[in-house]
Structure 1
């Protein structure tokens, strides 16, 4: 770990020219005291790093110094493979590995390409943390230790013991599973596994502890994760207490509804331009919530109980605000 950090420190100085101890600590996610110790270690090893004093001072490498220590370690190589989604790397506990790997990739570029690539990267922003309405996107946090243990079991093909809470308010239980693979969807990470031969899907954020076991997992040698995910998604949408709703919708809000509903089964345009749609929701509570969020941009037509539920909620709200506070 420290060797990788020392390489990252050198690469940061090569690419930025001058950085303070505070800036280095922030980039490397360590304390300033650790940075100072690392600087001393680099100097002792013959790396020409020195301090420039003054208001705009910091640590600098001797001009022209170049190191060939750009080899990727396994975690960094894996992080680049999932770098199509920066949040995907974070969901699997590979966020810091991705940052370190990208430093090495930039440093490995020919000198003539490096400035161009850095400038181009500044012009691109993928998956920002907030949308245009300044709503912060809630990415689920998975402790690095848990993510690392799950990854080890998945790649080694070993059984995995997890302390898992099936719901936010459920009591966690220990269970032993055969891990198949990992999937990230909209900033949520999932473990696909089998338990006693039956397919199971676990939210990574609900795994409170994980332990890789020495026993080999009972699973096929090859897996089509995309197909497996599609099959589980289909089973999820067709089971449980799902409800199907017939509704009318302002077309400007179609994507919002499509992103909330489990599925949109049919739609056509009415003579007034609105969409007449058939959509399914996880349960009645989900349907009421989704239609309420759309306000006057949507109208539930069927089932009748949904219209009643929305009417009662609107009446209660109107009553509360119908008189001065």
Structure 2
């Protein structure tokens, strides 16, 4: 729509300063001729906008001119208030800042959009942590966030799974990621990923570092998750499943169901120990065929359970 495009041109010039017609056309995905017509329309509407000719020319707004017009649609206003996550903001020490920002945005909205924003914030609430996990205590999170923002080196004592468990590390923190209620810091050199709640001691320094220009936090995290899952499920189990039984990530193996409707499937597993616990929860609806180590371990557990409950029944009859 032309009206939305005019608002976009106004906001682009207000936030970025001088822009050429070609730059505006590329940003808005329209022709340069369309930009010329839109600029003329803005000028006719009284917007103090002027253009300079030449190689370094372009359009710009008169110095000091600002508009209160946000250009927000109803959907955009709703999404803005839905995206505000007070819990994570408070953990970063930005709870009051977020509240103030939302208050200012709300005050600047027209009455109709303000009603939309109030409606969405009153009907939807984002709670990122899972049900069965206690919130991680991360007392050093604000200090890590400050180092990320100011590009300051951190010296930490970190607890890891491998031996030795407690190690000293020098971090150049590039960014923070919140995943399922847990904070991670991505830091150089490397980069590498560290759980913030596993930082035992932290010493901030005045040493500055240069964040790589080509580092993309979102792209890094996407690749990190993919590699993590690849490492996580390095083994595979061959199983039989009773009719109607499903297992996450299971892929049907060759061959039709047998006479009783049981099907063969292959499923990636993290480890024998982890799969042992997961498959026990399916009871008699699953049979593990491979690997032999997992099958034998399940058989031993079932035998121990049968003996235990058999002894309990016998004891109750005495």
Query: TM class, shorter-chain normalised?
Result: 0.5 to 0.7
Give the 3 Å change call, closer, same or farther, for CA 88–314 of structure 1 in structure 2. Answer: farther
Quick one: distance in 1 between partners of 2:210 and 2:218? 20
- Decide whether aligned partners of structure 1 residues 244 and 166 sit closer, same or farther in structure 2, where only a CA change above 3 A counts: same
Contact 1:92 1:189 in 2 (8 A): no
Q: Secondary structure of 1:150's match? A: helix
Q: Secondary structure at the match of 2:125?
A: coil
Return the index of the structure with the highest Cα Rg: 2
1:280 and 2:269 matched: yes
Asked if 1:121 is matched to 2:110, the reply is: no
CA spacing shift, 1:267–1:125, aligned 2, 3 Å: farther
Give the RMSD, CA atoms, in angstroms. Answer: 3.8
Provide the residue aligned with 2:185 in structure 1: 191
Give the Å deviation of 1:110.
3.6
Residues matched between the structures, number: 230
Deviations, residues 184-242 of structure 1 (Å, cap 9, x unaligned): 22222211122xx4442111111123333222235412322233223334444455894
**1:1-325 mapped onto 2 (5 Å cutoff):** 83=83, 89=89, 92=92, 94=94, 97-99=97-99, 101-127=101-127, 135-143=131-139, 146-167=140-161, 171-194=165-188, 197-217=189-209, 219-239=211-231, 242-249=234-241, 254=246, 258=248, 264=249, 266-267=251-252, 271=257, 272=261, 276-281=265-270, 283-322=271-310, 323-324=312-313
- Give the direction of change, closer, same or farther, for the CA distance of 1:238–1:116 in structure 2 (3 Å limit): closer
Length-normalised TM-score, structure 2: 0.57
Q: Confirm or deny: 8 A CA contact 2:152 2:208 kept in the other structure.
A: yes
Q: 5+ residue gaps in structure 1?
A: 1-79, 259-263
**TM-score, structure 1 length as denominator?**
0.56
Deviates more, 1:184-193 or 1:83-92: 83-92
